[in-house]
Amino acid sequence: MNLLFHLFFFIHAPPVYPTDQKALEDYVNLPDLHYSYTLVSKKKHCDSSVYTINMTSLKWLDDSEVDKTIWWHMVTIAVPKVYKNAQMKKSCFLLLAGGRNDNPEEPAEYSAAQIRTLAVTTGSFSCDSPKDHIKELVAVLLMQIPFQPLTFYKHPLGMKNITENSLFAYVLWRFINDPTTSLDWIIQFPMVKATVRALDTVTDFLLKQTGEDVQITEFMLLGSSKRGWIAWLTAAIDKRVVSFVSVVMDVLNFVENLHHQYRSYCGWSFALAPFYYINITQQIDHPRFELIASNIDPLKYNEYYINKAKYLLVASGDEMGPPDNSYYYFDQLTGKKYLRIIPNMNHALAFYEDSIGVPTATFYLITMQNQQHPQVHWNRTVKNTGGAIYFSTDQEPSLIYAYYANTNDDTRRDFRMHILSGQEAKRNPIKWKRVKVKKVSTNVYKKEIKNPDKGWTGFFIEATYSGFEDSSEKLIITSEFHIIPETFPCEDCVGEGCYSKLV
């Protein structure tokens, strides 16, 4: 949302905490005189023009707290030379990526070359064969989300040059343990603000400085892991974001989902070690942790998603948490929503272009060209001997199967690809198998599975759709996980009793 609010929050302690999710929007809309951008390079290709920009987005905190306060980002913009559909000239597919501030050339989830490919075609491209173009769209790569590594001078463990989960863990610790700490300390605040400034930059640059006849008014965002979180939050506060793809980020309603992980694993996944070692796990019921959740949990912004199509990609073996987190939020989500569970994959799904980058462009095209999305619905049923999924759809899928797997034992309800063994992560011998489903009526399919002899069985139905305009790619949609029996190996934890162990 582009209104400028002149209310300055959280300057002096003790801060006042809003309860209506306005703090994030106000922080983003607060002008920052550090914002600017500079064109670094321009390359002309036979199929597109590629621009590289250095954008300074904001100042976060001050020099007494952290070693780098000014955030900057490399932004790559690929503009196709031709468009099959003039409507696409107003739309942009923006990918959020990590990367480092001490080595901007280090590969992140996506590369500039992939952005160019995404802009012009979903398949192999030859400049001698322009007829092979399948789609044309403006594609943007935004790097350094978040701006990392950073060194905080008051880190309780003395850690330096921290990134990713360690960065998030520290700001959580600081906010919970220092009651004078304001909400804009939470790392999602500057990450969202930097993303919104990138939308401003792309729009302004293409309109004013390129000579391209491109005026962007709509964005689809794609983000993985923490970047997926930022896609959710940016979509909530910026009307220009009309759709988004969230990859391996399914911890909406995240306080409930953390308790769900504890009951499933009887502890915490080793992937949460940065939070565990700084004592965050024993503070998930702390009032200030709930205050954080009330401002950055995407489900708190649910009303803003009603007109925004969402595509959620989940890895079956994600080490960050259980695959059935969706039980705690998916039914509540407003607006168009689509789920895809990818079998035999872990949190590194973000780095697999075949699963993420180009194929999700099909969802982009369907959404931005106002084509009809497949409408799906499912029901999970359970009885003493097992369970079933009923999957209904308004379009006949070109392929439809189910996948299932069993846990390795009856100690944990655990489908992760890797688990902790001693001090090291080792492969968890779980393999998802594809099986047929039964067609029970027109466009209604069923998969029924019996309870395992021990442990748990997880399964889901996967439908593949094809035949979309301007795309040879397919769109894959799945049901949620169904895990049977519907039992847990552990009782829930409370308060400091949630400290527990890593598994």
Q: What are phi and psi of 124, to 5 degrees?
A: -65, 145
Helix, strand or coil, per DSSP, at residue 108? coil
Residue pointed to by tokens 């982009």: 364
Output the six-digit token pair for 100: 């480092």
Could you tell me if 456 and 406 are in contact, meaning their C-beta atoms sit under 8 angstroms apart?
yes
Say how many CA atoms lie within 13 Å of 121 toward its Cβ. Answer: 14
Q: Across the strands, what pairs with 52?
A: 41, 76
Could you tell me if 145 and 194 are in contact, meaning their C-beta atoms sit under 8 angstroms apart?
yes
Which amino acid, one-letter code, is at 16?
V
Which pLDDT belongs to residue 365?
Answer: 85
Inside any domain, residue 229: yes
Give, for all 503 residues of the chain, the pLDDT tens digit.
Answer: 333 323 222 222 333 334 457 999 999 999 999 999 999 999 988 888 999 999 999 999 999 999 999 999 999 999 988 777 777 889 999 999 999 999 877 656 666 677 777 776 543 344 555 444 445 789 999 999 999 999 999 999 999 999 999 999 999 999 999 999 999 999 999 999 999 999 999 999 999 888 777 899 999 999 999 999 999 999 999 999 999 999 999 989 999 999 999 999 999 999 999 999 999 999 999 999 999 999 999 999 999 999 999 999 999 999 999 999 999 999 999 999 999 999 999 998 866 656 565 568 789 888 988 889 999 999 999 999 999 999 999 999 999 999 999 999 999 999 999 999 999 999 999 999 999 999 999 999 999 999 999 999 999 999 999 877 655 678 999 999 999 999 999 999 999 999 999 99
Which pLDDT belongs to residue 146?
Answer: 98
Which pLDDT belongs to residue 269?
Answer: 98
- The set of residues, in sequence order, having a beta carbon less than 8 Å from that of 383 and lying 6+ positions away, is none
Inside any domain, residue 247: yes
Query: What span, in angstroms and rounded, lies between the C-alpha atoms of 473 and 467?
Result: 8
β-strand pairing of 457-465 with 399-406: antiparallel
DSSP string, 486-503: ---SSPPP-GGGG---B-
Nearest one of 428, 341, 362 to 220, comparing CA atoms:
362
Q: Residue ranges of the alpha helices (H) in 209-302?
A: 226-237, 254-265, 273-276, 287-296
Q: What are phi and psi of 281, to 5 degrees?
A: -60, -30
Which pLDDT belongs to residue 351?
Answer: 61
Q: Number of folded domains in the chain? A: 1
Show the domain range for 80.
Answer: 26-373
Inside any domain, residue 210: yes
Inside any domain, residue 386: no
Residue pointed to by tokens 């290709």: 45
Inside any domain, residue 409: no
Nearest one of 276, 264, 64 to 157, comparing CA atoms:
276
Query: What span, in angstroms and rounded, lies between the C-alpha atoms of 100 and 144?
Result: 6
pTM of the model: 0.92
**What is the rounded (10 degree) CA torsion for 319, 195, 60, 148?**
40
Residue pointed to by tokens 């008051």: 154
Which pLDDT belongs to residue 109?
Answer: 64
**What is the rounded (10 degree) CA torsion for 382, 383, 388, 391?**
-60
Inside any domain, residue 436: no
Query: What span, in angstroms and rounded, lies between the C-alpha atoms of 249 and 225?
Result: 5
Query: What span, in angstroms and rounded, lies between the C-alpha atoms of 468 and 453?
Result: 43
For residue 311, the domain's CATH number is 3.40.50.1820
Inside any domain, residue 336: yes
Going from the C-alpha of 183 to that of each of 15, 145, 150, 179, the distances in angstroms are 8, 19, 19, 10
Which pLDDT belongs to residue 187?
Answer: 98
The separation between CA 83 and the C-alpha centre of its own chain, rounded to angstroms, equals 29
Query: What span, in angstroms and rounded, lies between the C-alpha atoms of 187 and 164?
Result: 10
- The set of residues, in sequence order, having a beta carbon less than 8 Å from that of 129 and lying 6+ positions away, is none
Burial (0-12, 13-18, 19+ Cβ within 10 Å), 425: middle
Inside any domain, residue 351: yes
The dihedral of CA 142, 148, 154, 155: what is its sign?
positive
Q: Residue ranges of the alpha helices (H) in 238-339?
A: 254-265, 273-276, 287-296
Planar angle of CA 10, 15, 21, nearest 5 degrees: 75
